[in-house]
Structure 1
């Protein structure tokens, strides 16, 4: 029997909640019935087991609640979340900052409220508690903070009715349809009715509400994430992504049956189902599940990340894309020519992910392929380029640097970050600064002094205090402005053109006005770093597709603009390394910390064994800053696209149609949606001179 969904709980899945569960009494036999269904599915050799959503919900609510463990868990979780770089910005945002609902939010204060509620008997099941903690995390509106809690990975809820939001021509306001009906709308069947209400509430407003829990800080990007779309999110892009409305993920959607009402008066009642996400299901009640999934086992020793072996099975080409001129073996990049007669001079570079496999051979293939395609395009007479970054949400930063230098070889790479300057980061930096040089070279830990350099890549701080600061921002302490990526040093392993290898080509292959960045607002993490370089240092324009059914400009980057998302295992490595350095130094009679500091180091770092099982804790360790705007993280800066269009049906099923629409809107006689052109182009930075 196949692994149940291959345990595909990712951070994105953990963020795809849609509604708070109601703490109502659970059926006593729910878990037993699921076990029986699982056994039948196993005997039938089914790939996975599907049960009624309400049955899964009742089983989850039958899990017991341990007050002592829960309170201790909150305190431990806060020791990870204290590092999140935008905590203070979200709590005290500047006036006019681009923030989605719920607006200003105090995460640490909310966690304290949950802890107090737990102590006062406010929770009756582990699942109810886990939801409250997860909801507090989602309220930060940042994809780079979250966790998978012990009760929220056992089932995936599924409405099995994907929706789409489509416009008749890309300029008219879109309407919501079921994915099945959308095909008929695409064939100009005017008898098809749009969806106008969900559970008795206006459909658009309900989707907007659900989108606030998507994790996207931008409302338009969150709205897009609710709908089905064919595209590059998966290795096989021919498989549709159903969208978060249809696949709400790990949290109970609130109602067992979703009532979908159409404009012609028809009402469809769609039951919520649940996919069982475990290897087995022998439990007859929530007690057994709690012991299995929530009581911690011995924690394995953290180990430094190792580069994976440079082997992988090549991915097949997607059937929804035209024949590529070049294609990465894992579909991390592909290049195309637009065939329409009026666009014969347009080439398209598709980058669904800045490959983060960690394989040097993959990186070399990525960078070499980009060079090959751009060189070929110029030789073939292509004068304009679209860089399609749709659904690109992660990757490795060296790819972004190298690609930027491909298009603007004369421009230096600029990188500036800050992290939260709190007691734990101060003590960790102080300790790691004493790591022996020969050992430091073999470590790849984010808070080591060797990893920092000035934003213009010329000055290396001599002491950890230069990096730590602190400097006041948002009524809190932040580090000094530094770059965390020494590009020359990085290029010893991941060669960036112009730093670790020659510039190729030595001159810009396209003028800035002849390059377009195309996004759907999902651009996050490394994608945001690439877009920031291309727009503010290269002067490249952009076009964005989709968003809420309203006119007006839309953010180019609707996702997280973090520089470095830090996972739990890396924090554990830092913690263990710091404590060992302190212990070894004390035994040698050369203490690094005072006795008081040594005690505090143990107190401010996470426990070696969590009171409750948890996985995939991640925070944004460092925030990006724009040159000349070092008082605001990029998350606090609005950056609207020069043009916006809504998705048509053809755009959803055929990505190449978005290239045609984008090219005509930006260079030809096509149109942008009303009111979408940004009043100015990108905020272009002219020089790095004068910066330290």
Structure 2
């Protein structure tokens, strides 16, 4: 198949136009374009400009950007069929190259990979211990109560996380699982059903093989008005060059294509349209993150081949693959795979025995002058996080700022925050110098990142406007204990709740003022928390307007001359910025893509959690609190059985295999996800039927007023009490959860992200999460409850 390169084609006087649907929502004008173009960058930029010009009262025109063909992973030829007498896992292991070899991905038929995974026997005792281990950490998730019973109008049905975990445990003990793979699928479904980009745990067994369709699909409306159709990307790219008229896909394996795609849309977005958009190819997805193209890679399993049927009556047989990297050579059966990937390594004598990698002085290549798939920029961040552009032709009064990510500061090439500010300011200054008075902010495929760049961009556009960033944290006994132990220690307070002030930007007098709690319909939360912007962070960085030694900047654009473009995939920090701009200044939005429906869609379809923490963060908080309390735990917490363990998890989520003989091997920690300051408003997909492997939703009741219980509704408390001042594991098979006096716990396994700090956003109806305020409410509704 011939190759293609991306290029910028300037103005095209004719092209697809868009029928916009305009809705007035409490004074907020939001335009939503429902034709699905998120995956097709051939028309994406054309549509952005067409709609933006309409909103900004510009002359209608368009320009196009040629979509780049996505490179497939390098794969070796499919192995020949092997005798069925050989253990399935031995087949894969025999194909694996030696450790350390720079090798391509190795493909095998999906049926062989699935047979290997299903040959792992279920480990009932260890799996039950893992669930008990996870529950105390899951209790930090701020949306537990709201997820069980979302408000009316929310687009996804509710899901009881803790009840689902209890259902899995019951299924384990009743013999409901035939193999370990079935258990791992059910456990992972608990986290995917929550539809929360900050809530994740993937069992290691599910990372051994990756099931892939070696094709990409795109969704195109022929004229921007008619419903879109689904096409094979290669047909669209190369059909005209090779002299054939391509046709749209109508079914895969006899399942209607739309039904097939909707069932596959499992991305952890809180909106079904954002989930749908992440299936396809787009230049923003390809450049900004590892998300997108999930049609080809987001599969639990696949048949060895699939039959695609097209509207012109033809069919095409696609050979699917399961790819993997390197497996230990001594894996011959499912037991070996379980030991290599799931069981944690034996205890080491001390953390000091773990050899740390030595620092290297590898010189980084110079940054690319352009962002892949985008035209030549006016300004560009060295990590491509933000870039500025001038539109060609008649759009002489408009500029574009593409924000692909709010990633944490990058220290390898310099301070990423300073670079982000430079690009934003220089782009604005260049626009003003060229007499360009209108701005398009493109937030397509933005996965979020660090808070400060979002606040910096906001204050660069509105230098004198207050940043409303109210947040709340789930209030329960373990969190209260941590706060009591760390609040009076200056270093501990900074470590635990950094730069936090009350709703009036005044310092909290005591921990009880922070903790509250405030009772809401489905849970109890802390007092309102805000960020102290006068306190410098990251080498003295202060957001624009808070550095008294810096000259005041003027507002560069009128609010009516700014429009925001998204594809719904706006996660974490991205809704922080978008929410501030729409809520405080009524900035208009354009939401591209989504399911082929004649209805509005959300501009912010991703997680709105204010801050995400991983288990490693929570472990550090808990460990510091226990040490400050002389390694003692209050008896009420110890006896509850719900205090988090400080020992390794019974089963490792790390995808790195180890040899069973490598006793000194330890899993590595991953950095905490970047903190964010938005609100959580997510739920889950429809509860499965009895025939599904996913546990059904359990009923629940609201917690009583006053101090919340240790667990949220639906979770069964432990029946095994523990002695005061001693933490005991939920099951007898787990190790004691408190290290011996003077002994440091060993290096931890990588832990999933589970905690969300809820964002108090004060939503107007129709904005954000379908007009639903899922937790507390902010500026416009005081401190009352929501609903």
Is the shorter-chain TM-score for this pair beyond 0.5, marking a shared fold? yes
Residue 334 of structure 1 corresponds to: 387
Are 1:41 and 1:48, in contact at CA under 8 Å, matched by a contact in 2?
A: no
1-structure distance, mates of 2:93, 2:201:
27
Q: How is 1:368-447 mapped onto 2 (pairs within 5 angstroms)?
A: 368-435=422-489, 437=490, 439-440=491-492, 443-445=494-496
Residue 209 of structure 1 corresponds to: 263
Residue 265 of structure 1 corresponds to: 313
Work out which of the residue numbers 124, 133, 152 in structure 2 matches 1:67: 124
Q: Please state how far the C-alpha of 1:190 moved relative to its aligned partner.
A: 9.0
- Give the TM-score normalised by the residue count of structure 2: 0.69
Does residue 452 of the first structure (1) align with residue 500 of the second (2)? yes
Does residue 252 of the first structure (1) align with residue 252 of the second (2)? no
- Give the TM-score normalised by the residue count of structure 1: 0.79
Count of equivalent residues: 590
Does residue 133 of the first structure (1) align with residue 187 of the second (2)? yes
Residue 31 of structure 1 corresponds to: 89
Q: How is 1:221-370 mapped onto 2 (pairs within 5 angstroms)?
A: 221-234=274-287, 243-248=293-298, 251-253=300-302, 255-278=303-326, 280-297=328-345, 298=347, 313-316=365-368, 317-341=370-394, 343-357=395-409, 359=411, 361-370=415-424
1-structure distance, mates of 2:125, 2:506:
49
Are 2:212 and 2:297, in contact at CA under 8 Å, matched by a contact in 1?
A: yes
Q: Does the C-alpha gap of structure 1 residues 319 and 413 become closer, same or farther in structure 2, counting only changes over 3 Å?
A: closer
Are 2:379 and 2:423, in contact at CA under 8 Å, matched by a contact in 1?
A: yes
Are 2:604 and 2:768, in contact at CA under 8 Å, matched by a contact in 1?
A: no
2-structure distance, mates of 1:88, 1:497:
37
Are 1:386 and 1:517, in contact at CA under 8 Å, matched by a contact in 2?
A: yes
2-structure distance, mates of 1:217, 1:147:
17
Work out which of the residue numbers 585, 598, 609 in structure 1 matches 2:648: 609
Q: How is 1:528-677 mapped onto 2 (pairs within 5 angstroms)?
A: 528-583=575-630, 595-597=634-636, 599=638, 603-614=642-653, 615-627=750-762, 635=769, 637=771
1-structure distance, mates of 2:763, 2:276:
32
Q: Does the C-alpha gap of structure 1 residues 325 and 487 become closer, same or farther in structure 2, counting only changes over 3 Å?
A: same
2-structure distance, mates of 1:135, 1:688:
36
Q: CA RMSD of the aligned region, Å?
A: 3.4
Does residue 143 of the first structure (1) align with residue 192 of the second (2)? no
Q: Does the C-alpha gap of structure 1 residues 242 and 465 become closer, same or farther in structure 2, counting only changes over 3 Å?
A: closer
Residue 717 of structure 2 corresponds to: none
Deviations 1:400-435 (A, max 9, x none): 111100000120111111121122212222222232
Are 2:398 and 2:438, in contact at CA under 8 Å, matched by a contact in 1?
A: yes
2-structure distance, mates of 1:190, 1:505:
60
Does residue 486 of the first structure (1) align with residue 526 of the second (2)? no
Gaps of 5+ in 1: 1-25, 587-592, 640-682
Q: Please state how far the C-alpha of 1:486 moved relative to its aligned partner.
A: 1.9
Higher relative contact order (CA 8 A, sep 6+): 2
Q: Please state how far the C-alpha of 1:500 moved relative to its aligned partner.
A: 3.5
Worse-superposed segment, 383-392 or 176-185: 176-185
Q: Does the C-alpha gap of structure 1 residues 309 and 543 become closer, same or farther in structure 2, counting only changes over 3 Å?
A: farther
Q: Please state how far the C-alpha of 1:99 moved relative to its aligned partner.
A: 3.0
Q: Please state how far the C-alpha of 1:632 moved relative to its aligned partner.
A: 13
Are 1:338 and 1:347, in contact at CA under 8 Å, matched by a contact in 2?
A: yes
Residue 495 of structure 1 corresponds to: 542
Q: Does the C-alpha gap of structure 1 residues 86 and 311 become closer, same or farther in structure 2, counting only changes over 3 Å?
A: farther
2-structure distance, mates of 1:40, 1:685:
59
Residue 78 of structure 2 corresponds to: none
Q: Please state how far the C-alpha of 1:144 moved relative to its aligned partner.
A: 1.0
Worse-superposed segment, 471-480 or 187-196: 187-196
2-structure distance, mates of 1:451, 1:116:
43
Deviations 1:271-308 (A, max 9, x none): 321111436454111111111111112489699xxxx9
Q: Please state how far the C-alpha of 1:355 moved relative to its aligned partner.
A: 2.4
